[in-house]
Structure 1
Amino acid sequence: MLNLEVQPLKKEFIQIAWERLNNLTKPPGSLGRLEEIAAKLVAIYENPMPEIKKKAVLVFASDHGVTEEGVSAYPKEVTAQMVFNFLRGGAGINVLARHAGADVVVVDVGVDYDFGKIDGLVSKKVVKGAGNIAKGMAMTRSDAIKCIEIGIELVKEYHQKGYNLFATGEMGIGNTTPSSAVVSVLTNSPVEEVTGKGTGIDEETFKRKVEVIKRAIKINKPDASDPFDVLSKIGGPEIGAIAGVVLCCAHLRLPVIVDGFISTAGALIAYCINPSVKDYIFASHNSVERGHKKALDFIGLKPLVDLNLRLGEGTGAAVAMTVIEAGLKIYREMATFDEAGVSKSDK
């Protein structure tokens, strides 16, 4: 299942898009990145007049044993509590997804809590929390691959239901710690340069977090040339599932909006598995987590907005979804010079 072929975008569709964009009633390029978004969508969908039908934000939840090391401002129990909040529609992602007209799909891939059967929760639990990476592996290689496959399966399932725009989200207390570890190893960056303060830890906790990440890398010895090894040793279930979402969207020629730091760590795993996925990713925003920009730069992605966000959940991706739709609406609905009877510039 992981051998998903990803085709590069075809230049002829990009050319078709720009021919229309340059004939709309505006100076060429005057709508900046909104025009770039539209051209990219035309090429992804391979459709001269694409349409976004149904939108989904896939929110993957998992716990992390590394919270035992005191690296987060919140206790581990908050992960399960927030899952219930998602299901009730009361979280930030629910509000912004409603604003964007998107559905929120809440997926348990590794929460250390027995939810039983609850309406609205997609149960795909691989582990009951990732292992404490400061003491050993996050999960086995087999479990890491299962997490990626879950992301792949869900995209296929929801695409069959008519969804053709996906966004990634996550919930997991402590998950900026494995994300920093993943980004440090895969981008060959010093831990201090890719580690931030997560949900708002103090300076003392931040220093401890940096040391914990260094210890995790030293103990587990992840192989930077093998993204599966990195994911299993110092990653997390939700990071793997997000990697699967990115891989499958690229395979099915669907755009995927990647949220913040944790989601980008997942996208980085996918990129290291198959660099061609880059063409299908929209980087939603640049978070205040210092490792986020490092990961985006490594992949070669430029975020659409910068709002000082650091919540996660898919909130930045939901905001970016409205920007992406604005770009497509400009492309589809704006009149051309001929249609409007407006004279073109003679220069």
Structure 2
Amino acid sequence: MAAGYDTTTLLGVKRIQPRFTPLFVQMFFPTVATFASEEVAFDKIKKGIRLAPFVAPMVSGRARRERGGTLTTFKPAYLKPTDVVRPNRLLKRLPGEALNGELSPAERHDAVIADILLDHENEIVAREEWMAVQAVVTGKVVVEGEDYETQEVDYGRSAANQIALAGAAKWDAVDADTYDPTDDIEDWAANANGSTGVLLMDKKAWRLFSRFKAVRDKLETRRGSTSQLELGPQLERDVMRKGYFGEYEILVYTGKYEDAAGAKLNYMPDHTLIIAPARADNVMAYGGIQDAKANADGIVETTRYPSNWFTDNPSVEWLQTQSAPVPALFDADEFVVVTVD
């Protein structure tokens, strides 16, 4: 394939790949909105495993605000995971291939392309999940990278909805036999805009919560789920449904990502409790693709743009996937976030 793959072929490969669907994106940002412009217009939306590094497509990102301080548009950072399709790799057997090499070099080349595209997809989805977690947990997303000027998208969470327990109020300091968190949770939930139905915790918050005798006495484990979450094979490993505490379904999230240094980190900060709606209508938005070839082919408004090309001396093939995502959290006060220790 000296001329390279066309975009339709590469997109076709991506469509048949299994996709990891992370918790926060699936639960709280279930809808996609694409833009033909570099900038995402939040007001128009409202009306209508390794993290991929943030980079700027041509210039640094910028946030623009209208009079009064309301963020209306944001130019997302650009994601461009890129790999070399090495010729010597194409001559090796792939995992699962017979010893005598049942695939032709061309077939193995296609399989390597598919494998790299899947890696790109996983990196981009991991970054989308990271941004979604930041938006929900902190009420803002700080976008920074080696090739990108640091920018912040502040969704305007009220201080009353961002709580950190201190001193004797911390969950590890209260008496596990006598403390009942029911009243506190009801008081915190009263700060949320709209109805709430989920208590989402990291593993350490759950350990503290579940040690309370009142929780063990009230926890109901037989009721069916009422959230919009559907657990696929990957989420079954990363999400534990613990039952109901009153009207709240309890979910424990243990999802991890790998940073640039190779360290595995939790998406959710330690000792975090999120009082969340059972259903949310926020959006994962995408700025337009800033690529001359893509634009010449009429491709601007899309969530992904995969492409490949060749260079000489040394002769190598390159494979890249471009995307410009940013979460659109319409009301940060739908959530109440509590650091319990």
TM-score (norm 2): 0.29
Larger proportion of helix = 1
Larger proportion of strand = 2
Larger Cα-atom Rg: 2
